[in-house]
């Protein structure tokens, strides 16, 4: 998964890109980068690591200009290497171009193989690079038509920001898997994956970039290039609501926090249990646990405390270290849990390995019963559109029943939110969402992505 930002017409474009990326750090912790334009040249600075470590004052002063794009990355396609970090910069017939992408293209491999047999040389293993190659190969003359030409050939999920010497462009695929919003700060425009980035710099929310839209920011201001593709079906990612987006963001025109609390209410209605405490698995389980507690009247307690100094990047996917990682991150509050019947609430189970350790941890702390409640349906299918859910074999729910999973994680009871309950917030617009990770109902067919690993939050 990734987060992207774009800044147009602000004397401190790089500083604003830095701040907005900081607010989007939860969307990717492997690498970060900012590209700026001063009207003549594009300069790009990208490194592996966290935004606050990469962008020192010194690094930022070397990024002059009034336009910028930025990116934070957690790789879902292409390895975790500096050459695969973004923004990705090229120089082609029409000048300098930088691009930052959130989402996963599903036909990138096919296009890449075709272009390579025609002589193209790729610098990275990222799907995003095919967009720049397709743009370079276009016979169109102006930027927007060149981009449309390229986007008509790619399939899958993309929210994009592009930077040239003179303008900023934002685009979103016709299905709209990944969010993208526009804000205004005096005479400047801000584009960002989530509204929490706008809040940080006190920019005013304008609207979303709609699925299938290309929006240009140049000396004439902000203007819409008419939709480049007519959406056949919207496929907004429901997992953004469940886990991915920050709860203080407004995504797909709804408040994420309210959505998560609603999942918790629904979960409690469907799967009540007699208990003394509702305890979230922080941070991702907190809003749903509040909803569960509100619905049942069972008191909410922070029975597990999270250390906020464990960078996700520290947790390498080797079993021995991952085991250690859970303890580094979470510690039970013994006095609160002792002798209690506890409802643990989390947003999802992926492999089940972390959940198992947490259940044990809560029991070892003295809990009498441990009931796990999950605020989404079983994650049984891989995501090809940018969420890093592993290959199907690694998803415990792809091969185990709920009761088998319960046994594996050693809980007294386990229950998930139903597929119907997931859509508590809408009857009419259910078909606007992509829930392939729960249903296997893929809006667009895809190749299995190559690089996959998982760390938890």
Residues in contact with ligand 5GP by the rule CB under 6 A: 243, 281, 284, 346-355, 387-389, 454-457
Q: How far is the CB of 251 from Mg ion (least distance, A)?
A: 18
- When the beta carbons of 147 and 359 are compared against ligand 5GP, the nearer one is 359
Residue 348 near Mg ion by CB under 5 A: no
Q: How far is the CB of 284 from ligand 5GP (least distance, A)?
A: 4
Cα 192 from Cα 434, distance rounded (Å): 21
389 binds, among Mg ion, ligand 5GP, none (CB under 5 to 8 A by kind): ligand 5GP
Number of residues that bind Mg ion (CB under 5 A): 2
Residue 306 near Mg ion by CB under 5 A: no
Q: How far is the CB of 252 from ligand 5GP (least distance, A)?
A: 18
Cα 240 from Cα 251, distance rounded (Å): 8
Q: How far is the CB of 356 from ligand 5GP (least distance, A)?
A: 7
- When the beta carbons of 275 and 326 are compared against ligand 5GP, the nearer one is 326
Q: How far is the CB of 78 from Mg ion (least distance, A)?
A: 25
Cα 294 from Cα 376, distance rounded (Å): 18
Q: How far is the CB of 349 from ligand 5GP (least distance, A)?
A: 5
Residue 15 near Mg ion by CB under 5 A: no
Cα 178 from Cα 106, distance rounded (Å): 14
Q: How far is the CB of 354 from Mg ion (least distance, A)?
A: 8
Residue where the block lists tokens 């710099």:
201
Q: Are strands 369-374 and 413-416 parallel, antiparallel or unpaired?
A: parallel
353 binds, among Mg ion, ligand 5GP, none (CB under 5 to 8 A by kind): ligand 5GP
Region binding Mg ion by CB under 5 A among candidate stretches 4-12, 281-289, 379-387, 443-451: 281-289
Name which of residues 19 to 48 contact Mg ion (CB under 5 A): none
Check 2, 196, 237, 383 and give the catalytic one: 2
Residue 455 near Mg ion by CB under 5 A: no
Residue 312 near Mg ion by CB under 5 A: no
Residues composing the chain: 457
295 binds, among ligand 5GP, Mg ion, none (CB under 5 to 8 A by kind): none
Q: Applying CB under 5 A, which of residues 75, 132, 188, 284 lies at the interface with Mg ion?
A: 284
Rg (C-alpha) for the chain, rounded Å, is 22
Cα 325 from Cα 328, distance rounded (Å): 5
- When the beta carbons of 195 and 389 are compared against ligand 5GP, the nearer one is 389
Residue 457 near Mg ion by CB under 5 A: yes
Residue of closest CB approach to Mg ion: 284
Return the closest-CA partner of residue 31 out of 1, 61, 64: 1
Active site residue 2: yes
Region binding Mg ion by CB under 5 A among candidate stretches 154-162, 277-285, 332-340, 361-369: 277-285
Residue 353 near Mg ion by CB under 5 A: no
352 binds, among ligand 5GP, Mg ion, none (CB under 5 to 8 A by kind): ligand 5GP
Cα 53 from Cα 340, distance rounded (Å): 42
- When the beta carbons of 37 and 355 are compared against ligand 5GP, the nearer one is 355
- When the beta carbons of 152 and 453 are compared against ligand 5GP, the nearer one is 453
452 binds, among ligand 5GP, Mg ion, none (CB under 5 to 8 A by kind): none
Region binding Mg ion by CB under 5 A among candidate stretches 25-33, 141-149, 247-255, 284-292: 284-292
199 binds, among Mg ion, ligand 5GP, none (CB under 5 to 8 A by kind): none
- When the beta carbons of 296 and 456 are compared against ligand 5GP, the nearer one is 456
Instruction: Write the secondary structure of the chain as one string of H (helix), E (strand) and C (coil).
Output: CEEEEEEECCCCHHHHHHHHHHHCHHHCCCEEEEEEECCCCEEEEEEECCHHHHCCHHHHHCCCCCEEEEEEECCCCCCCCHHHCCCEEEEECCEEEEEEEECCECCHHHHHHHHHHCCCCCCCCCCCHHHHHHHHCCCCCCHHHHHHHHHCCCCECCEEEEECCCCEEEEECCCCCCCCEEEEECCEEEEECCHHHHHHCCCEEEEECCCCCEEEEECCEEEEECCCCCCCCCCEEHHHHHHHCCCCCEECCEEHHHHHHHHHHHHHHHCCCCCCEEEECCCCCHHHHHHHHHHHCCCECCCEEECCCCCHHHCCCCHHHHHHHHHHHEEECHHHHCCCEEEEEECCCCCCHHHHHHHHHHHHCCCCEEEEEECCCCCCCCCCCCCCCCCHHHCHHHHCCHHHHHHHHCCCEEEECCHHHHCCCCCCCHHHEECHHHHCCCCCCCCCCCCCCCCCC
- When the beta carbons of 158 and 385 are compared against ligand 5GP, the nearer one is 385
Q: How far is the CB of 286 from ligand 5GP (least distance, A)?
A: 11
- When the beta carbons of 102 and 284 are compared against Mg ion, the nearer one is 284
Chain contacts with Mg ion (rule: CB under 5 A)? 284, 457
* Residues annotated as part of the active site: 2
């Amino acid at each position: 998964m990734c987060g992207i930002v774009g800044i147009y017409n602000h004397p401190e474009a790089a500083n604003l890109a830095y701040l907005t990326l900081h607010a989007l750090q939860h969307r990717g912790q492997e690498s970060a980068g900012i590209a700026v334009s001063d009207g003549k040249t594009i300069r790009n600075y990208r490194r592996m690591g966290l935004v606050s470590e990469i962008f020192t004052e010194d690094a930022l002063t070397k990024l002059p200009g009034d336009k910028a794009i930025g990116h934070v990355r957690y790789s879902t396609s292409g390895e975790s290497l500096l050459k695969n970090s973004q923004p990705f910069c090229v120089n082609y017939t029409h000048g300098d171009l930088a691009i930052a992408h959130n989402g996963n293209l599903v036909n990138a491999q096919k296009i890449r193989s075709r272009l390579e047999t025609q002589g193209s040389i790729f610098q990275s293993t990222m799907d995003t690079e095919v967009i720049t190659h397709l743009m370079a190969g276009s016979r169109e003359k102006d930027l927007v038509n060149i981009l449309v030409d390229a986007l008509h050939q790619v399939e899958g999920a993309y929210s994009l920001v592009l930077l040239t010497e003179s303008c900023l462009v934002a685009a979103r695929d016709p299905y709209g898997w990944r969010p993208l919003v526009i804000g205004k700060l005096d005479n400047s425009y801000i584009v960002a994956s989530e509204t929490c980035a706008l809040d940080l710099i006190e920019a005013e929310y304008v609207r979303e970039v709609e699925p299938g839209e290309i929006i240009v920011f140049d000396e004439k201001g902000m203007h819409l290039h008419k939709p480049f593709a007519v959406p056949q079906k919207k496929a907004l990612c429901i997992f953004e609501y469940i886990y991915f987006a920050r709860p203080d963001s407004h995504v797909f025109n709804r408040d994420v926090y309210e959505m998560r609390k609603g999942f918790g209410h629904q979960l409690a209605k469907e799967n009540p249990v007699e208990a003394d405490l509702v305890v979230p698995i922080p941070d991702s389980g907190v809003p749903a646990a509040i909803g569960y507690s509100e619905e049942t009247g069972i008191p909410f307690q922070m029975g597990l405390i999270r250390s906020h100094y464990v960078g996700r990047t520290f947790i390498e996917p080797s079993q021995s270290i991952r085991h250690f990682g859970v303890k580094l991150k979470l510690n039970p509050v013994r006095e609160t849990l002792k002798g209690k019947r506890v409802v643990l609430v989390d947003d999802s189970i992926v492999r089940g390995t972390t959940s198992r350790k947490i259940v044990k941890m809560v029991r070892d702390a003295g809990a009498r019963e441990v009931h796990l409640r999950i605020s989404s349906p079983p994650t049984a299918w891989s995501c090809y559109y940018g969420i890093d859910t592993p290959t199907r074999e690694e998803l415990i729910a792809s091969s185990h029943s709920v009761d088998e999973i319960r046994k594996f994680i050693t809980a007294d009871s386990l229950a998930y939110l139903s597929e119907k309950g997931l859509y508590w917030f809408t009857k009419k617009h259910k078909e606007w969402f992509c829930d392939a990770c729960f249903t296997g109902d893929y809006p667009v067919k895809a190749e299995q992505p190559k690089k996959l690993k998982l760390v938890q939050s």
